[in-house]
Chain A
Amino acid sequence: MKLDPKIRDQVLGTVPSLRAFAISLCGNIDRADDLVQETLLRALSHIDSFEPGTNMPAWLFTILRNLFRSEYRKRRREVEDADGHYAETLKSHPEQTGRVEFEEFRTALAKLPTDQREALILVGASGFSYEDAAAICGCAVGTIKSRVNRARTRLAHLLAIDSVDDFGPDRATRAVLAGGRN
C-alpha cells in the first residue's frame, strides 16, 4: 500500500535530525548515512507498527539507536578498544565531521562512554524530553538524568572548564588548568 503523504512528510522532516544524531553517535559520516538508510528501510517496511499521531522522531530515533547499538556490540568484539577506535576515526576525518573550531569539543564527546554520549545528545541537542530519551534508550528516566549529568561533568573535566572564564580561546591557559588538576 502507498504511504500516507502526511506520514511520508513526517519521515522526511525527521531525517536531517536523525542523521545529525547518527553522525554525533558514531563520528563517521559514511557509517552514519548507512545507519540512516538502514533505519529508514526498516521503518518504512514496518510502518504499520507506527501509530499515527504518536512521536515520529522518537520512533525513528529508537530504531536507529538500536541498530547502532547492535552494530557497536559487533564491532566491540572485533576492535579491542572501541572508544579509542571511535576517537581515532574522528581525528582522521576532521573535515567530515565539522569545522576545526569544534574539534576540541568533538574529541571530548568521543571520549564519553556510549550510553552517556547518546543520552546527552538526545536531551541536549535533539531536543527530546527525559521521558522520550528514556523510551528511546529503553531505560528509566532517572538513568537518563544520571547519564546526562555524568556526561556533562566528564565533558567539563575533559575541556578543563571550571568556570565560564576558562572557556575562552586561550588553549595554553586551559592546558595549564588541566595539568594542575588533582
Chain B
Amino acid sequence: MGERGKNEDMKSRRTSVEPMQTDKPDPDKPETHDSMGRPMSPHKPEARLGREVQARIGQQLRALYDEFVNQGVPQHINDLVRRLSEQD
C-alpha cells in the first residue's frame, strides 16, 4: 500500500503537465492486482459479492455513520449558523 501510494504520487507529479499521456492506471478500471501486488482472479470481483455480504457491509457502514450523527453537533457550530443567519 505504502509503496504503491508513493509510486502513484511520483507519477502524477511527473506527468502533471500532460495528464493525458500517462501510464498511470485508470482509477475507475477494475484492479487486476490486490493490495499485495498479487494478481486477482480474472472475472469481475464485484460479480462475486453476494447480496448478503453487501448487506452486511452496508449495515456496518450505516451503524458507524449513525454513531457520528448521534454524537450531536458542537454548540459552537449551531451558534455559528444562527449568528450568520441574523446578520444584515
Contact = CB atoms under 8 A, between A and B. Distances in A.
Nearest to A85: B5
Nearest to A17: B69
B2 A125 contact: no
Given A2-B87, A3-B85, A152-B49, A82 B77 contact: no
A153 B1 contact: no
B58 interface: yes
Q: How large is the interface on A (under 10, 10 to 19, 20 to 34, 35 or more residues)?
A: 35 or more
Contacts of A105: 60-61, 64
B46 interface: yes
Q: How large is the interface on B (under 10, 10 to 19, 20 to 34, 35 or more residues)?
A: 35 or more
Interface string A1-33: 111010010011001110111011000000001
A44 B85 contact: yes
B58 A124 contact: yes
Given A44-B85, A102-B67, A153-B45, A109 B73 contact: no
Contact of B81 (A15, A125, A167): A15
Contacts of B82: 8
Interface in A98-127: 98-99, 102, 105-106, 109, 111, 113, 115, 120-121, 124-126
B82 to A, nearest CB: 7
B65 A149 contact: no
Interface of B: 1-2, 5-6, 9, 27-28, 30-31, 34-35, 38, 45-46, 48-50, 52-58, 60-69, 71-74, 77-78, 80-82, 84-88
